[in-house]
């Protein structure tokens, strides 16, 4: 598959380019960047100096697109709705990393393979889930059979989740030595989480607290699900084991181990820890916000859309960049 990257100079896009360059069945098409047109990729990402390519200028993806090519839209929110219809008209398959197509009604298939793999396989347009919803859904969807009443989600993200556009609140001096909560009056990912809960039969209310922590990449979600009555831990553990049986990218930890952002860095992996405390189920989930929360999940969706092995090009953490 030939894969073009629109908005190719961001953090998630750079990680995607690194994965595509080593993918056994992928060829990097046009890496389009309006801000760095004509400049070497290596100039902006030292760890991609082994990729001898320059950023292509505005309009290059549309100029170079051919039927059955794939495009990953990694630009700002609001852009994908404008460009995606033109790409689809040209016969391309499209994976969007922004939030433009995640909420109903939408022409896209929601790109959460654990739930929608069959639909993704036949899709031309896939909405890649956000990093916060990805970790939250992995931690909570297996709880549907227990009818949680309320779920409290405490979520911590590395600073790359804020993107690569300079902003005062994402400067090193602003985030170092602090844990900063934000979006307390309503975060843009809450509707996405609730929509997927309702589709899975979870009618619980959500209390969501996103926080930025002083690490470059990674995400840790602590989800606390209050049930109407106590439940046996064996039953909950069995539900999670069944939900992720045969999924090599999800590890349910035991033996006193807890999820680690470091252990999933640069991968499509997720680590879970599940415990029960009376009528409260606590689930911890660690993912890489640039991997499972963006680039590597996009690769998995591309693989499914093309009929390739699901995890081709997304295994291991050898291609994790340092930020």
In terms of Cα–Cα distance, which of 271, 322, 319 is closest to 295?
A: 319
Burial annotation 239-264 (CB, 10 A radius, 16+ → b, else e) = bbeebbeeeebbbbbeeeeebebebb
In terms of Cα–Cα distance, which of 40, 95, 153 is closest to 301?
A: 95
Considering 8, 131, 223, 305, which one is annotated as catalytic? 131
Is residue 131 annotated as part of the catalytic site, yes or no?
yes
User: Which residues, listed in sequence order, are joined to residue 152 by a DSSP beta bridge?
Assistant: 207, 224
User: Which residues, listed in sequence order, are joined to residue 211 by a DSSP beta bridge?
Assistant: 156, 181
Rounded (10°) CA dihedral 81, 85, 91, 96: 10
Q: Which two tokens stand for residue 226?
A: 């209050």
Active site residues: 131
């Amino acid at each position: 598959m030939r894969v073009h990257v629109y908005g190719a100079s961001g953090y998630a896009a750079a990680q995607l380019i690194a994965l595509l360059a080593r993918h056994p069945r992928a060829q990097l098409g046009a890496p389009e960047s309006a801000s760095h047109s004509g400049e070497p990729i290596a100039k902006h990402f030292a760890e991609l100096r082994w990729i001898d390519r320059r950023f292509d200028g505005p309009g290059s993806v549309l100029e170079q697109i051919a039927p059955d090519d794939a495009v990953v839209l990694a630009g700002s929110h609001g852009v994908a709705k404008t460009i995606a219809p033109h790409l689809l008209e040209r016969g391309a398959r499209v994976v969007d990393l922004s939030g433009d197509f995640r909420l109903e009604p939408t022409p896209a298939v929601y790109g959460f393979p654990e739930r929608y793999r069959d639909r993704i396989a036949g899709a031309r347009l896939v909405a890649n889930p956000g990093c916060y919803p990805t970790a939250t859904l992995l931690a909570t969807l297996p709880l549907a059979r227990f009818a949680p009443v309320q779920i409290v989600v405490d979520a911590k993200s590395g600073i790359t989740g804020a993107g690569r556009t300079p902003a005062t609140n994402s400067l090193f001096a602003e985030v170092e030595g602090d844990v900063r909560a934000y979006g307390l009056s309503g975060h843009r990912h809450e509707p996405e989480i609730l929509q997927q809960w309702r589709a899975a039969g979870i009618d619980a209310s959500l209390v969501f607290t996103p926080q930025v922590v002083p690490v470059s990449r990674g995400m840790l979600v602590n989800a606390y699900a209050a049930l109407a009555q106590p439940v046996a831990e064996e039953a909950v553990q069995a539900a999670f084991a069944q939900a992720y049986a045969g999924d090599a990218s999800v590890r349910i930890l035991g033996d006193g181990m807890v999820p680690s952002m470091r252990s999933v860095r640069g991968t499509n992996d997720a680590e879970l820890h599940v415990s029960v405390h009376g009528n409260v189920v606590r689930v911890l989930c660690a993912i890489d916000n640039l991997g499972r929360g963006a680039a590597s999940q996009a690769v998995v969706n591309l693989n499914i859309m093309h009929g390739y092995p699901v995890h081709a090009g997304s295994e291991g953490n050898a291609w994790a960049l340092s930020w």
